[in-house]
Amino acid sequence: MRAFVFDVLLITVFLVNPWVVFVGAQRVAMAPEINANDTQSEPSEAQAGEPPTGQPDMDMPGMKMPPADQSHSEPDWMPSPENGSGTEWQPASTSAPMWMKSVENWEVMAHGVVFVDYNQQGGPRGEGKAESVNWLMLMEEHRLGSGNLLFREMFSAESLTSPHPGFPELFQTGETYHGQPLVDHQHPHNVFAELSLDYTHPIGSLLKEKVSWEFYGAAAGEPALGPVTFMHRASASELPMAPLSHHLQDSTHTSFGVITTGLIIDRFKIEGSVFNGREPDEKRYTIQFATLDSWSARLSVAASKSWTAEYSYGRLEHPEAFEPGSQRRQTAAVEYVRPFAKGSWATSAVWGRVHNVFDNHNLNGYLLETTANFKLRNYAFSRMELVDKDELFPDNPMLPAFRIGAYTFGGAHDLIQSSLSRLALGADFTLYSKPSVLNSAYGRDPVSFQIVLRARPAVRHGGG
């Protein structure tokens, strides 16, 4: 009952009362200098999501917008810090489902999503569960000197809407429940998923290229390791389930203690972090500080407004509660986002490798995912993975790693579209490949599916 009440409240925030977050955002606000005679009527439901033909408003949901007193604009290929995760870049052409409001010299923003779904995992080790994946991120942006200051606060109610052991997910591993490794379940995310500040300051030029310095500090946040985390990737916007390769690629997105610094040189960014590499424990409502004894480095490039790429390397000290020793992690990723009239297409390819120092072996994860939004209301999406799993049978740790394939296909349709929010109904199914030795545990051909109701802020699409 408590989980159901939280779901209703979260959907209410997104669909009925978004002004609870932003007072006065019930109408797309116009720039102060625009004459009242030049105002446009709000778009009809059929037009919602199309860019207006007149002068752009300053508070449009989803519009990339500089701070109010910023006198210069960024090049069109420069990724917006509001659209990524941690300090990682997502292509500048990403359309952000976001509420925005100018408050004096601050830009105040909020975005997030609520998925309410029935999740049925197939085979002998599968189960069914009504649950909710959800998160809300608040951001406050302000010019500070010659630089730009951004605060982020991200929260999740998943510890209530999918309590332990979490979300059923065949072949998923990572973290613990009641002192035992989690298997065939994805853990819920922490109440405090991010509490951070990010400051970027221009420092001059190098070989005729503009150079900026970036500093990021977080009580809960994301080090410079891995791609944009799955819940913020445009290519995964309609996929509530975490990838099976999550713990090989982007699982450090909630680290309790992070300091990152780096340089942005034209289209390139090089950065390094020190952080607490231990994964969160079962107390999802606490912030678990520890020594910042892990480190990472990352090189990112914004090749154009539609393409970004990254390579990162890091050493994590004692990340797993039940695994001795440390890990060395490498990741590489490419993201592509192409907006077009009445829609967009986003695709990501990600590789992650974990080297366990204690027993000197590697685990690899390969991911390809895509989401296409077409004719405003319709979505088609897919995720395909090949992942090495060595924790499927924690009672028999001598078993080798197994190469698992997961192939998800689905679609969704917006039932409600307004200038403020979107409500969609969708479904997906997942097929698997695996060694035949696992048939006795998982069945020969397990099939999993979800039926999903999704709510989030409105998004504006650019034509292309």
Which residues have a Cβ under 8 Å from the Cβ of 329 and sit 6 or more positions away? 225, 226, 248, 296, 312, 313, 314, 315, 316, 352, 353, 354, 355
pLDDT of residue 45: 36
pLDDT of residue 40: 37
pLDDT of residue 13: 41
What global pTM score does this model have? 0.83
Helix (H, G, I), strand (E, B) or coil at 429: strand
Residue 146: Cβ-neighbour burial (10 angstroms; 0-12, 13-18, 19+): exposed
pLDDT of residue 324: 76
pLDDT of residue 206: 67
pLDDT of residue 207: 63
Q: Write the DSSP string, 165-228.
A: T-EEEEEEEEEEETTEEEEEEEPPPPSEEEEEEEEEEEEEEETTEEEEEEEEEEEEB--S-SSS
From residue 300, give the alpha-carbon distance in Å to each of 225, 228, 402, 405, 441. 11, 11, 31, 28, 41
Ramachandran angles phi, psi of 381, nearest 5°: -145, 160
- Residues 311 and 298 sit within 8 Å (Cβ to Cβ): yes
Nearest-CA neighbor of 347 among 373, 329, 365?
373
- Residues 404 and 433 sit within 8 Å (Cβ to Cβ): yes
pLDDT of residue 308: 97
Which residues have a Cβ under 8 Å from the Cβ of 172 and sit 6 or more positions away? 182, 183, 184, 185, 186, 242, 244, 246
pLDDT of residue 410: 98
Residue 462: Cβ-neighbour burial (10 angstroms; 0-12, 13-18, 19+): middle
Please report, in tens digits, the pLDDT of each residue of the chain (464 residues total): 444 444 444 444 444 433 333 333 333 333 333 333 333 333 333 333 344 433 334 343 344 444 444 445 678 889 988 887 899 999 999 988 899 999 989 999 999 999 999 999 999 999 999 999 999 999 999 999 999 999 999 999 998 998 778 899 999 998 887 778 889 999 899 999 999 999 999 998 766 678 999 999 999 999 999 999 999 999 999 999 999 999 999 999 999 999 999 999 999 999 999 999 998 877 888 888 889 999 999 999 999 999 999 999 999 998 887 777 899 999 999 999 999 999 999 999 999 999 999 888 999 999 999 999 999 999 999 999 999 999 999 888 889 999 999 999 999 999 999 989 999 999 999 999 999 999 999 999 999 999 999 999 997 543 33
Neighbours of 322 (CB within 10 A): 12
- Residues 294 and 260 sit within 8 Å (Cβ to Cβ): no
Structural domain spans, the chain: 2-23+93-457
Give me the architecture of the 2-23+93-457 domain, per CATH: Beta Barrel (2.40)
pLDDT of residue 38: 39
Nearest-CA neighbor of 305 among 129, 60, 92, 459?
92
pLDDT of residue 131: 96
CA angle (191 as vertex; 421, 310 as ends), nearest 5: 75
